[in-house]
Amino acid sequence: MLKDLLKASRSIRRFYEDEDVPEEMLRDWVDNVRYAPSTANGQTLKFRICTSEEEREQIFPCLKWAGALPDWDGPEPGERPSAYVLIFDDLSLAKNRPIDVGICAQTIMLSAAEAGFGGCILGSVERTKIMERLGIDQERYALTDVLALGRPKETVILVPVKEDGSTKYYRDQDGIHYVPKRSLEEILL
């Protein structure tokens, strides 16, 4: 059921780094994007799958992991993603298609969750540095988001928003990650 898949598709920030995401599976998840809606059917986004240790080491230092957890610098060695999918605007076709990017990122995240993997959509990234390190043409492409992917090494629990109204995610002393969600009654007008 779709609702169960949506509940399972949480932002995962710690992974079993030594468990690879098969390249064929990653290609299939990107292939799923071809069937998603696209502004004016432009299909202007491009994707780069990065699984090699060299590419992962070039990308990881350029990522900001959890704004609501200021004392946490991101996953430790052994807990880092085993794959990344980078999303680009192809500037020769169009630019600034944030709705398309969101649809595509969510499609890949749902695909990962369905296969028992997890990920995190990262928008706070050092775009220029990543593109330089990977040799991506910055005149032709603009990096929009980085999807960090792998086998989840953490537990994420959805909880109701507390009385103070805060939707800020948090972790307990055991490292369990909690994500407050508003009730249906709160979001219906």
pLDDT digits (tens, 9 = 90+) for 147-174: 999 999 999 999 999 999 999 999 999 9
Q: What average pLDDT does the segment 23-49 reach?
A: 96
The model's pLDDT over 73-132, given as tens digits with 9 standing for 90+, comes to 899 999 999 999 999 999 999 877 889 999 999 999 999 999 999 999 999 999 999 999
- How does residue 66 score in pLDDT terms, banded at 50, 70 and 90? confident
DSSP the chain: -HHHHHHH--B---B-TTSPPPHHHHHHHHHHHTTS--GGG---EEEEEE-SHHHHHHHGGGB---TT-TT--SPPTTSS-SEEEEEEEETTT----HHHHHHHHHHHHHHHHHTT-EEEEE-SB-HHHHHHHHT--TTTEEEEEEEEEE-B-S-EEEEEPPTT-----EE-TT--EEEEE--HHHH--
Complete domains list, the chain, with CATH = 2-153 (3.40.109.10), 155-189 (2.20.180.10)
Angle among Cα 85, 110, 183 to the nearest 5 degrees reads 125
Q: What is the average pLDDT value for the chain, to the nearest integer?
A: 95
- Is the pLDDT confidence value at 14 over 80? yes
- Predicted TM-score (pTM) of the model is 0.93
Angstrom distance (rounded) from CA 139 to CA 125: 18
Rounded alpha-carbon distances, angstroms, from residue 81 to 17, 95, 96: 6, 28, 27
- Is the pLDDT confidence value at 133 over 80? yes
